[in-house]
Amino acid sequence: MVVAIDGPSGAGKSTVARMLAERLGYLYIDTGAMFRAVALAVRRAGVAPDDEDALDRVCRGLEISFERDDGAYRVLANGEDVSEAIRTPEISLLTSRISTRKAVREVLLHEQRRMGSTGNVVLEGRDIGSVVFPDADVKFFLSASAEERGRRRYLELRAKGEDVSLEKTIEEVAARDARDERREHAPLCRAEDALLIDSTGVSVEEVLRRMERLVRDREAARRLSAGGCGDGFCGNVEGA
C-alpha cells in the first residue's frame, strides 16, 4: 500500500502523515525534509540556487534516508543527522527557491519513487498523488483555510520567540499558495481521485481517524480480493 497525502503549506500534512504511519506500522517519508536536505547541501557547497547543472550535481551526490529513533524521525544526509540543521529560517527560505528547479525535482522524484517502491509507506508533499505516485492506493488532499493555516503558523513562530504579526503571516501563506499553484514544475493540485479533507476547526485525532479508517478498508478489500474473489468484489467492507 502507498498512501499519498498532499496539500498546501500549513495544512498539517507532516504531523498527520507521521502519526498515520505510526498507527499503520508504515514507513513515513517526509518529502519536504528531502528538499530541505538538498537546500542545506546547496548552501554548504556555495552553489547558486538558479544554477541547474550545479544543483543536479549536488542532488546526485546526496544520499537521503530516514530513521526512527525512540519515536522520533531523523533525517540523514550522506549519513549525517541533519534533522535540526534543515529547520532553520535560512534553510526554509532557500528551500522555497530550489524546490522549483527542474534539476532538483527530477532527482528527488526518482528518489521518492525508489523509497516508496517497497510499499507500506506514507508520503506527504504537494504533488505526491498527482506526480510522484499517481497510482497510489490511497490519496488524500489535506487542506484548511488560509486564515486557519496562517494562524497555526503564527502561533508556531510566536512559540519560537519570533516577532511576527498574524495578518502578515496569513498574507504570506496565501502568497505561497499562489506560487505553488502556478509554478512550472509539479504545481500544487488535487489529484482527481484524492479524498479532500478540510482540517479547518477539526482536531488532529478526528482527521487521523478518518484517514486510518479508509486505509484499513482498502487493506481489507485488497486481502479479500487476493483471497480469490474473482472479479475483486467481495461485498461491503465499510467499517472493517
What's residue 233's pLDDT? 39
Average pLDDT of span 8-16: 86
Structural domain includes residue 220: no
User: Does 98 share its domain with 126?
Assistant: no
Q: What is the CATH number for 204?
A: 3.40.50.300
User: Among 73, 99, 118, where does a domain finish?
Assistant: 118
Min mean pLDDT across 69-73, 129-133, 216-220 is at 69-73
Structural domain includes residue 238: no
Structural domain includes residue 235: no
Asked whether residue 234 carries a pLDDT value surpassing 70, the answer given is no
User: Does 75 share its domain with 140?
Assistant: no
Asked whether residue 88 carries a pLDDT value surpassing 90, the answer given is no
Looking at every residue in the chain, the average pLDDT score rounds to: 87
User: Does 20 share its domain with 74?
Assistant: no
Structural domain includes residue 168: yes
The domain tally of the chain equals: 2
Name the more confident of 91 and 40: 40
3-class DSSP string for 166-223: HHHHHHHHHHHHHHHHHCCCCCCCCCCCCEEEECCCCCHHHHHHHHHHHHHHHHHHHH
Structural domain includes residue 68: yes
User: Does 17 share its domain with 131?
Assistant: yes
Structural domain includes residue 130: yes
Min mean pLDDT across 119-128, 140-149, 178-187 is at 178-187
Q: Where are the beta strands (DSSP E) in the chain?
A: 2-6, 27-30, 64-69, 72-77, 80-81, 121-125, 138-143, 195-198
At 186, the pLDDT band (50, 70, 90 cuts) reads: low
User: Does 127 share its domain with 201?
Assistant: yes
User: Does 9 share its domain with 68?
Assistant: no
Asked whether residue 17 carries a pLDDT value surpassing 90, the answer given is yes
User: Among 118, 152, 177, where does a domain finish?
Assistant: 118
User: Does 11 share its domain with 46?
Assistant: no
Structural domain includes residue 230: no
Asked whether residue 236 carries a pLDDT value surpassing 50, the answer given is no
Range of the domain at 43: 28-118
What's residue 239's pLDDT? 37
At 211, the pLDDT band (50, 70, 90 cuts) reads: very high
Average pLDDT of span 34-47: 96
User: Does 194 share its domain with 128?
Assistant: yes
User: Among 83, 118, 153, where does a domain finish?
Assistant: 118
User: Does 204 share its domain with 97?
Assistant: no
What's residue 178's pLDDT? 78
The model carries a pTM of 0.80
User: Does 88 share its domain with 135?
Assistant: no
User: Does 82 share its domain with 126?
Assistant: no
User: Does 153 share its domain with 72?
Assistant: no
Residues 6+ apart with CB under 8 A from 8: 126, 143, 149, 173, 176, 177, 180, 188
Structural domain includes residue 207: yes
Tens digit of each residue's pLDDT (9 = 90 or more) over 175-184 = 877 777 777 7
